[in-house]
A and B are shown apart, each in its own frame.
Chain A
């Protein structure tokens, strides 16, 4: 028996969610005494995959078939399942990225396993499996359990810590040949959103809304984000009005995020917006309206004109950096 993680790569590199999944699996393994394996698919150097050993993975199974260099939903799910079966995995842990979420349901069906998605607690394997997950777009938490003997989990992005727990690691090629029918829908082109930081993975997100009065005023938001190494986001109305691109829209019907720090500028905090950001660990709200609902969930607040407050914030950060 063992635990398998899907170590997602992009451009041959491991991403943060892979290390979150590894840490999660490692914590679970300490309860159950199982070994943690990983499966990586697509081009990647062995020296890159060995980094998983820093996070407690003892064996990395590397599937490298030319036909699967780009993401292919059915073939990737089949490959992860093949590895899971070869090591008799009891639990398969995937990061809750777009691709992780896309293949987890297929894997669960193939393994006849239960699927827990968006898990925010460590699974308790004492009697079946118990866990808690985020529900109602962050407005609720759901406790769930299963009596299935196999489990597939997706771990909410930025929902689990990353912690080094070094162990000896082996990287081995895993022979896998995809079925032609599993290669029907395969990515033929990638369009990068921007050179910016991925919203779902960002530690800090600077977000702005209608209080900005117009798209021409976003320069200071980008400057603030740049200073903090943050991703930029926006509210639904500003995306709908075309002030900002849709891929920046966070909220119930946009992207749901859980950064360590969320800075909301000129956003009133409608319930649909809060649904997408309320899992953020720390929230700063800047709004001229003291009654803005966002203040009710804020850890830090400034009631004031954002056109005065944001430039002051930028200056204060620059001054603090210069003094440090």
Chain B
């Protein structure tokens, strides 16, 4: 039996037009749809793939957050996780979140912990590596491929600058997932019905400190002021780019 933990981040949908509260304290959630972080969903999907390959697996989906993340965890259950855990604390700081996940996972003998390569809101790419360190697990970052090798190890591909690394690792392993490792799945009606009855436990947070304080959210400098060239005037564009030292 492979015990798998899939860490889920609850994030604004990729099509969201990002707006912040006027004081920059937080995201303006008005009208925003929240989803499973797409990279975490690759991990969930790969875990379910292992079951389809005939492995005995148990899949627990975990999210650190308030009650508002429960629909996101229900979706993970609908896609195919067996049970879900919500650690009842705000996810403001990656180091805090990583320590919550590790505190939960310690002693539960997980073989595999899947995470996204990063969350699409804060893009930190911090949680998976910290969980690996806190658990003393091997860490496969930016995984694009995973194939079981026997019952207790796997071959992975991981993205690196300018190519791909092939590596083998014996479990337990933390795997941060990105495109390629699996395909997203759409939950079917049976899955959605079943998800209502699957266990979703609320767990109190461990006593850990926060390391980084968010101060303020602002927007990148406005762009625009586009300088247009006529379609016939490629020369004009090229001349400008050369003058500006861009090419």
Real binding pair: yes
Contact with B along A143-184 (1 / 0, CB 8 A): 111111000000000000000000000000000000001001
Selected from A114, A139, A193, A312, the residue in CB contact (under 8 A) with B212 is A114
Q: How far is the CA of A312 from the CA of B169 in the complex (A)?
A: 51
**Interface footprint category on A:** 35 or more
B17 at the interface (CB under 8 A from A): yes
**Pair A115/B234 contact, Cβ less than 8 Å:** no
> Which residues of chain A are near B216, meaning CB under 8 Å?
142-143
From residue A85, how far is it (CB to closest CB) to chain B in Å?
A: 15
> Which residues of chain B are near A113, meaning CB under 8 Å?
211
Q: How far is the CA of A108 from the CA of B17 in the complex (A)?
A: 33
- Which of B169, B170, B223: most chain A Cβ within 10 A? B223
B193 at the interface (CB under 8 A from A): no
Contact with A along B168-208 (1 / 0, CB 8 A): 11100100000110000000000000000000000000000
Say yes or no: A142-B214 contact (C-beta < 8 A), given A101-B125, A136-B18, A254-B179: yes
Selected from B142, B156, B234, the residue in CB contact (under 8 A) with A316 is B234
A59 at the interface (CB under 8 A from B): no
Contact with A along B209-241 (1 / 0, CB 8 A): 001111111111001111111111111011111
**Pair B219/A140 contact, Cβ less than 8 Å:** yes
**Pair A98/B142 contact, Cβ less than 8 Å:** yes
Say yes or no: A300-B231 contact (C-beta < 8 A), given A188-B168, A271-B15: no
Selected from B18, B162, B234, B239, the residue in CB contact (under 8 A) with A193 is B162
B56 at the interface (CB under 8 A from A): no
**Pair A104/B231 contact, Cβ less than 8 Å:** no
Contact with B along A189-207 (1 / 0, CB 8 A): 1111100001011001000
A220 at the interface (CB under 8 A from B): no
A97 at the interface (CB under 8 A from B): yes
**Pair B232/A312 contact, Cβ less than 8 Å:** yes
Contact with B along A35-56 (1 / 0, CB 8 A): 0000000000000000000000
> Which residues of chain B are near A140, meaning CB under 8 Å?
18, 20, 217-220
Selected from A147, A271, A308, A317, the residue in CB contact (under 8 A) with B247 is A317
**Pair A143/B160 contact, Cβ less than 8 Å:** no
B98 at the interface (CB under 8 A from A): yes
Q: How far is the CA of A143 from the CA of B230 in the complex (A)?
A: 41
CB-CB contacts below 8 Å: A82-115 with B: 97-99, 101-106, 108-110, 113-115
> Which residues of chain B are near A191, meaning CB under 8 Å?
157, 163-166
> Which residues of chain B are near A299, meaning CB under 8 Å?
223, 225-227
**Pair A116/B165 contact, Cβ less than 8 Å:** no
> Which residues of chain B are near A271, meaning CB under 8 Å?
14-17
**Pair B141/A138 contact, Cβ less than 8 Å:** no
B139 at the interface (CB under 8 A from A): yes
Say yes or no: A98-B160 contact (C-beta < 8 A), given A185-B140, A261-B247: yes
A141 at the interface (CB under 8 A from B): yes
- Which of B133, B217, B227: most chain A Cβ within 10 A? B133
- Which of B157, B159, B238: most chain A Cβ within 10 A? B238
Q: How far is the CA of A294 from the CA of B157 in the complex (A)?
A: 34
> Which residues of chain A are near B123, meaning CB under 8 Å?
117-118, 134-137, 256
> Which residues of chain B are near A143, meaning CB under 8 Å?
24, 214-218
Chain A: residues with CB nearer than 8 A to chain B?
10, 15, 70-71, 73-74, 77, 97-99, 101-106, 108-110, 113-118, 130, 134-148, 181, 184-193, 198, 200-201, 204, 228, 246-247, 249, 252-254, 256, 260-261, 271-272, 275, 278-279, 282-285, 295-305, 308-309, 312-313, 315-317, 319-320
Enumerate 10 A-B pairs (CB-CB under 8 Å) in ascending A order: A101-B129, A140-B220, A142-B215, A185-B140, A185-B173, A192-B163, A246-B180, A253-B39, A271-B17, A295-B226
Beyond contacts A74-B138, A140-B220, A143-B214: 9 other A-B pairs, Cβ-Cβ < 8 A, are: A70-B165, A74-B133, A98-B141, A105-B128, A115-B94, A115-B124, A143-B24, A252-B120, A256-B123
